[in-house]
Homo-oligomer: A and B are copies of this chain.
Amino acid sequence: MLHLDYRDGRPIYEQVADGIEQLVAHNVLEADSQLPSVRQLAVELSINPNTVQRAYGALESKGVIYSVKGKGNFVSSDSTQVRQRRIDELHTQLHHLVQDARLLDVAPATLITWIHEEEQS
């Protein structure tokens, strides 16, 4: 389900949160569907329940999921908003990438060529 990489510098809880957010953004996890319990996911991933809790907490404060005490964690209903936010992030990343390219004297046209190559492969 989720892939953890301990060599990756990013903290575990962030990898968990990002992984789940992706699943939500791509509608693999549908709105209002229940997520695995904190303890269960902790066992599955062989990590501490506290770490899962932290990931869930981060997602909740981001509005990606909501939690009900005594019942569990659920996917937030307006996943559209989540998708939009991720698209905005994409836009920002591309912005930085174009800036970096400029500094290296790589024309935007070159970047576009690369994208076309992606499409063919």
Query: Which residues on A are within 8 Å of B, measured CB to CB?
Result: 6-7, 9, 11-12, 22, 25-26, 58, 61, 66-71, 74, 76-77, 83, 86-87, 90-91, 93-95, 97-98, 100-101, 103-106, 108, 111-112, 114-116, 118-119
Contact = CB atoms under 8 A, between A and B. Distances in A.
Q: How many copies of this chain?
A: 4
Closest 5 pairs between A and B when the two form their complex, measured CB to CB: A7-B66, A98-B118, A108-B115, A6-B68, A112-B112
A95 B118 contact: yes
A7 to B, nearest CB: 5
B101 A90 contact: yes
Contact of A119 (B69, B97, B108): B108
A66 B5 CA distance: 11
A115 B98 contact: yes
